[in-house]
Amino acid sequence: MAASMCDVFSFCVGVAGPARIAVEVRFVSSAKGKGLFATQLIRKGETVFVERPLVAAQFLWNALYRYRACDHCLRALEKAEENAQRLTGKPGQVLPHPELCTVRQDLHQSCPHCRVTYCSAECRLAAAEQYHQILCPGPSQDDPAHPLNKLQEAWRSVHYPPETASIMLMARMVATVKQAKDKDRWIRLFSQFCNKTANEEEEIVHKLLGDKFKGQLELLRRLFTEALYEEALSQWFTPDGFRSLFALVGTNGQGIGTSSLSQWVHACDALELKPQDREQLDAFIDQLYKDIEAATGEFLNCEGSGLFVLQSCCNHSCVPNAETSFPENNFLLHVTALEDIKPGEEICISYLDCCQRERSRHSRHKILRENYLFVCSCPKCLAEADEPNMTSEEEEEEEEEEEGEPEDAELGDEMTDV
């Protein structure tokens, strides 16, 4: 059951329709599946497209640790100064240029039944119309016996930070179908994401849940079924179907990060200041980040993940010609050209972060095989095909350090830097 191109492109924003988007989806090969191709010249620095996700959800530990985000679009809800105070552990922390903070707390709204918070009336209504009527726990929001709370607690007990997925992304998929008038359309859209073999699915679930994944997966399936069973999606609730759904989210979930402090810093960077004032402001920001690192470590953002139909069609390259970002401080994904892209050329992003892309071919392949279950054949990998299958001493040391970390720690960049 395939979704139409109108369905696929309907989640792009800021355009009139498919005719205005300079890309098309094509079948590439049985190994790579689909790919995204330019239909006209796209210049370096141009936005290829902007897309909103089918569904998105904040990571559960991230929310529990008071990273306050809109329950629908994940926009950071704290003012930049509040964000800095929490992250530094300094209640008296003051930021210069407070007028640069873009957070509008006067627009925030809550669900009248369960009190989850949204950045605007638009997000509250969008959530209610798509999935929240099904998922709203009402006055049982804090009741540990509520089926959804039992499901979330079970998930937190098996998937620790750094987080790469959320059971609530799957819950919103089911709730969207349950609540939809046109259930078949949403089922078609969710079916667009890549499928794996049974063995590959087990590898992905093992990566997310650890060595005892079979028992944990069955517990999650039982709780998921108790909370959300839907006849139209009955296959998703079987052991095989639930594993497939789990693998779909694990493979296709695109990490989303938002931060009011980061937005404030970018606005500061754009200020036209005298050299002395610029030097003072830069020094203040540098010290601020040092203080945050000392108090909080690397967890700076409101974090979650989403399923993006068009972005999921972008294949990987170790020398990408495009990149993804979230410059609007919400779940709207921007794909931007890193170089001129000619008509007919495939648009590729990188599933590796900048540091990983600089590692040897052997190391890159190891990361991609373990996390995405494919062997890269991009121009860079083909050019380095004759290199020995060895890592440098520094890379070996890094890998030894990673092997000594908790299993979930290996997934730190898997979804957030796709």
Instruction: List the chain pLDDT tens, one digit each, 418 residues.
Output: 555 556 666 677 644 344 357 899 999 887 778 899 999 999 999 999 999 999 999 999 999 999 999 999 999 999 999 999 999 999 999 999 999 999 999 999 999 999 999 999 999 999 999 999 999 999 999 999 999 999 999 999 999 898 989 999 999 999 999 999 999 999 999 998 877 777 788 888 877 777 778 899 999 999 999 999 999 999 999 999 999 998 899 889 999 999 999 999 999 999 999 999 999 999 999 999 999 999 998 899 999 999 999 999 999 999 999 999 999 999 999 999 999 999 999 999 999 888 999 999 999 999 888 878 788 999 999 999 887 766 655 555 555 555 544 444 333 333 333 3
State the Cα–Cα distance between residues 201 and 199, nearest whole angstrom. Answer: 5
Give the right CATH number for 3-48+309-357 from 3.30.450.80, 3.40.50.10240, 2.170.270.10, 1.10.3720.10.
2.170.270.10
**Cα→Cα distances 63→117, 125, 166, 358, Å:** 12, 21, 11, 33
Q: Give helix 260-269 / helix 275-296 axis angle, nearest 10°.
A: 160
DSSP lists the bridge partners of residue 254 as: 306
State the Cα–Cα distance between residues 350 and 357, nearest whole angstrom. Answer: 8
Closest CA to 329 of 303, 358, 360, 351: 303
**Composition of the chain by helix, strand, coil, percent to 5:** 50, 15, 40
Helix (H, G, I), strand (E, B) or coil at 304: strand
State the Cα–Cα distance between residues 24 and 39, nearest whole angstrom. Answer: 7
pLDDT the model gives residue 390 = 61
> Domain segments of the chain: what residues?
3-48+309-357, 53-253
Is the bond preceding residue 161 a cis peptide, omega within 30 degrees?
no
Q: What is the DSSP string of 61-89?
A: HHHHTT--B-TTT--B-S-HHHHHHHHHT
State the Cα–Cα distance between residues 159 and 124, nearest whole angstrom. Answer: 28
Beta strands in 298-353 (DSSP E): 302-307, 315-316, 322-325, 333-337, 348-349
CB neighbour class for 16 (10 Å; exposed up to 12, middle 13-18, buried from 19): exposed
Q: In what order do the strands lie in the sheet with 55-58?
A: 55-58, 302-307, 254-258
State the Cα–Cα distance between residues 153 and 260, nearest whole angstrom. Answer: 28
State the Cα–Cα distance between residues 276 and 195, nearest whole angstrom. Answer: 56
State the Cα–Cα distance between residues 269 and 408, nearest whole angstrom. Answer: 35
Helix (H, G, I), strand (E, B) or coil at 100: helix
H/E segment holding residue 29:
strand 23-29
**Cα→Cα distances 34→30, 110, 153, 315, 339, Å:** 9, 40, 36, 8, 22
- Residues 52, 13 contacting (CB under 8 angstroms): yes
Angle made by CA atoms 250, 254, 259, in degrees to the nearest 5: 130
Six-digit token string for 107: 């627009």
DSSP lists the bridge partners of residue 348 as: 315
State the Cα–Cα distance between residues 165 and 155, nearest whole angstrom. Answer: 10
For residues 244-270, b (16+ Cβ closer than 10 Å) or e, as one string? bbbbbbbbbbbbbbbbbbbbbbeebee
Tell me the pTM. 0.87
